[in-house]
Amino acid sequence: MNSSNSPNGEPTSLNPDTQEPFVKISSEWLITLLTPPFLGALLGGKAVSEMLQSMGQASEEVFRGDRLPVLNFPHAEED
């Protein structure tokens, strides 16, 4: 009798203290369930990136001075 097989011929774990998971989920189902959140995170990251870039360009316009009013300062008279 092989020590890695049970009496009914099924393979057993080398460590008898390990427990099998209660629910077995196949890798296909795991990929199916994790794909939409992953794609959502990618699309959300792209949208946030584009929003931050447009906000940066808008702030450049403000600090560039094109939209600021022209201030007329009186010239100081020289003595």
Per-residue model confidence as pLDDT tens digits over 33-77 = 999 999 999 999 999 999 999 999 988 877 776 666 778 888 877
pTM score over 0.85: no
pLDDT at 20 over 90: no
Q: Residue 7 contacts by C-beta under 8 Å, 6 or more apart in sequence?
A: 1
26 pLDDT above the threshold of 80: yes
All residues at 6 or more sequence positions from 61 whose CB lies less than 8 Å from its CB, including other chains: 67
pLDDT at 77: 76
**pLDDT band with cut points at 50, 70 and 90 for residue 7:** low
What local confidence, expressed as pLDDT, does residue 16 receive? 61
